[in-house]
Every structure is written in structure tokens, then in C-alpha cells.
Amino acid sequence: MSTVTTKDGTKIFYKDWGARDGQPIVFAHGWPLSSDAWDAQMLYFGQKGFRVIAHDRRGHGRSDQPWDGNNMDQYADDLAEVLDALDLRNAVLIGHSTGGGEVAHYIGRHGSDRVAKVVLVGAVPPLMLKTADNPEGTPIEAFDGIRAGVASNRSQFYYDLTIPFYGFNRDGVEVNEGFRESFRLQGLAGGIKGQYDSIHEFSEVDYTEDLKKIDRPTLIIHGDDDQIVPIAASGDKAAKLVAGSTYKVYEGGSHGLAQTEAHRFNADVLEFIKA
């Protein structure tokens, strides 16, 4: 396995495929998944001549599972170490859900010297939590429920979570058992402590200032039926905070639209990269 060892000794697993001289596309996955969530994109863009890189966030997938350090500052620093170790330049950064927070915080914390463009899909920024200043957010009780589900029986919780994640509870939507099984397997490959800690990072961290610092062309894609990261508190606000961003709303789109609508998503991202 290919790994980068970070300054604190944590091994971060990554895939590095496609043309070595192709423009790099770096993918940051959602919670509680791994780089495998990007299979449809890694194959598609790799076959299009790009260099495609995806890592497993610490505590997730095949990366190490440290007890401490499961926070967005560290996740952003880990991403920086991967980009530095591979000396990636002119990179397109694509972040889904929590990975969108990771990408935004990477730029907020480390700048955009290595970045050409940014894609945020179903991303958590600016803030998921409902507060007095963010009434469109999700109440803290919902995130406490996620913590309880992970702590008590994460295997069943992850399997059940796939229903709203992919919109399988909507009329006319066919349940894809392969997606459900893959989601649970990816979740169980990671460590419970890192995944538990990460709930705070995707729900209660405010990424507003990070979004304001994004100074590269940015494509924001969000489903208007996203039941995990509701669009009113995320995509709608992020599009206003990232200067000059392009905003695409998928009507009826779920949180997992990069998988359920992979052909459309891939085509939109390819058009954006080539523009």
C-alpha cells in the first residue's frame, strides 16, 4: 500500500493512478467512508488522461487509527502533507461532504499555491449546526443521535444511514443494495474513535472564513433533496461566500449524487475543469 507518514507518525493511505504527466485531481471523501467512495470518478477521470489521487482520512479506511488528532485542523494538515509529498501542482481539489470541509479548510490554512480549481459536492461548509445565526442548520440533537448510533452499533447505523444518504426512501427511487453494502464496508474499515470524533468536525465547525479564502475557480454542486447536508444551510450559502463560484443544483439530488448520478456529475466536473 502507498502511504505518507505525517509529522506525528500517522500513516495516510492514498491511491495515485492515471497518467503521471496528467493534471492531478485530488479527491477528499465523506464521512464515514474512504477513498473507495470515489471509484466512479477515479476510473472515469483516470481514463480521460488525468492523474487521480484519493486518500483515506486518518481514522478512516486503510489509514492509521490514532486515538487523538481526529480534527479538521489535522485533516487539512494531512492533506497538505499528501500534496507536498507527491509534489502536486495545478491540482483540482474535489471534496464531498466532510471532504468539502477538508478541502475548504486546507485552503484556509495552507493557501492555494498548489490548487488550480475546486469542486465542492454535497459539502458541509459553511456550518451544519443550527444556531441563532444559522437557523437553517440542523439541531444538535440530530448529531447527538449520530454519535449514539456510532457508539452503540455502527454497523447497523451505517447500513440504515444509506437510505436517506442515497434517497432510497423517495418514491420511484430504486434501492441499490451494492451501494448500501459498500457504504457499510467502507465505514467498518475505519476506526470507531476517529469516526466518532469526526462527527463534531462536520457538524459544529464553522468554515465560513475558509470559504472566503478560496481564490480559485470553484464549482459547487448540491442536491436539493440532500437529506444529510440540507442545501439551505450549505450549498446555498457557500455559493454566496465563494467569490465567483459556479453553482449547480441537482433537482431531486441526494447526498450521494456522485454515485447515484455519476454520469452527470462526472460530465459536469469535466466541463468545469476544461473551461
Contact between residue 99 and residue 27 where contact means Cβ atoms under 8 Å apart: yes
Examine the residue annotation and report whether 133 is marked as an active-site residue of this protein. Answer: no
Read off the C-alpha cell for 34.
474512504
Catalytic residue among 29, 64, 255, 268: 255
**Residue 22, exposed/middle/buried by CB under 10 A (0-12, 13-18, 19+)?**
middle
Q: Is 255 a catalytic residue?
A: yes
Residues 54 and 225: their CA atoms lie apart, in Å, by 27
Is residue 112 flagged as an active site residue?
A: no
**Nearest Cα residue to 266 out of 123, 61, 13, 92:** 92
Active-site position among 97, 203, 234, 254: 97
> What distance in Å separates the CA atoms of residue 241 and residue 239, rounded to the nearest whole number?
6
Select which of 226, 245, 254, 268 is catalytic.
Answer: 226
Give which of 119, 110, 100 is closest to 25, Cα–Cα.
119
Active site residues: 97, 226, 255
